[in-house]
């Protein structure tokens, strides 16, 4: 039995939405309450489309992103908001594990089609990681990588500026806030032609993923995709 299976036995997993003990991840009742994104989404950022005839949402029709494509599991509304808040600020690492497995199940086919060579979680600045106790994006990425047998790289991309929280900023302020926030390690072994999957918990405007993707593409001729648990807007 693998070590994480032993942990499930000793510490039964909880549904990340209602927090009741549940061995299936997100319990069936909570699954019905969430807004899963399965069809009619923007082909660039993954946001649900009001007009199914369009390929891109209004935001992506107006601006360009550095990443090739983002996919998200859920719309950022309803019960998922509190769930992701607890995952991020209450050190609920078990939630990150469950969402990573869910991402593998629901987005695994798309990730394979993208021919991803490595997964990179969006890093936290060391001060913020110390305050929170862990990086939730890394927790999601590890579970996803384990399920899909893909390497997870936490040593290539670093956050070198402790930026102010993005949630209170508009799109222009977000881009300015993230200018120079990331750096690729001098010891990185990122090769030309690689296809990287960035992982983050919440997609709002895409500024964070763009800044991280720009840093990676300036270091090597790689293609950057992204995946998020939830997307707002």
208, 223 Cβ separation under 8 angstroms:
no
Q: Which pTM was predicted?
A: 0.90
pLDDT at position 164, please? 58
Backbone angles phi, psi at 90, to 5 degrees: -110, 15
pLDDT at position 168, please? 61
Per-residue pLDDT of 80-136, as tens digits, reads 999 999 999 999 999 999 999 999 999 999 999 999 999 999 999 888 888 888 999
Residue 10, domain member (yes or no): no
Residue 119, domain member (yes or no): yes
- Number of independent structural domains in the chain: 1
Residue ranges making up the domain that contains 154: 34-231
pLDDT at position 189, please? 87
Residue 8, domain member (yes or no): no
Residue 80, domain member (yes or no): yes
pLDDT at position 233, please? 67
Residue 12, domain member (yes or no): no
Listed as ranges, residues in the chain with pLDDT below 70 are 1-10, 162-177, 233
Residue 28, domain member (yes or no): no
Q: Residue 51 belongs to a domain with what CATH number?
A: 3.40.50
For 87, counting Cβ atoms within 10 Å of its Cβ (0-12 exposed, 13-18 middle, 19+ buried), the class is buried
Residue 129, domain member (yes or no): yes
pLDDT at position 10, please? 67
Residue 182, domain member (yes or no): yes
Question: In residues, how long is the chain?
Answer: 233
- Helix locations, 63-205, DSSP H: 80-89, 93-113, 126-132, 136-148, 171-177
Q: Which residues contact 32 (CB under 8 A, 6 or more apart)?
A: none
DSSP-based three-state secondary structure for 136: helix
């Amino acid at each position: 039995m693998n070590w994480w299976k032993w942990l499930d036995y000793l510490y039964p997993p909880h549904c990340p939405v209602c927090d009741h003990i549940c061995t299936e991840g997100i319990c069936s009742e909570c699954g019905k309450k969430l807004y899963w994104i399965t069809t009619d989404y923007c082909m660039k950022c993954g946001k649900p489309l009001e007009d199914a005839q369009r390929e891109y949402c209004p935001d992506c029709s107006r601006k360009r992103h550095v990443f090739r494509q983002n996919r998200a599991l859920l719309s950022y509304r309803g019960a998922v908001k509190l769930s992701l808040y607890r995952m991020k600020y209450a050190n609920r690492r078990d939630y990150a594990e469950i969402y990573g497995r869910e991402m593998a199940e629901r987005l695994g086919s798309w990730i394979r089609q993208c021919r991803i060579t490595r997964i990179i979680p969006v890093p936290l600045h060391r001060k913020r990681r110390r305050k929170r106790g862990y990086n939730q994006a890394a927790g999601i990425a590890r579970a996803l990588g384990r399920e899909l047998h893909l390497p997870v790289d936490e040593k290539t991309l670093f956050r070198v500026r402790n930026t102010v929280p993005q949630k209170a900023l508009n799109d222009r302020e977000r881009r300015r806030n993230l200018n120079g926030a990331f750096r690729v390690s001098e010891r990185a072994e990122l090769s030309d032609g690689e296809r990287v999957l960035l992982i983050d918990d919440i997609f709002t405007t895409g500024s964070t993923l763009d800044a991280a993707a720009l840093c990676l593409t300036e270091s090597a001729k790689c293609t950057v995709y992204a995946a998020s648990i939830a997307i707002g807007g």
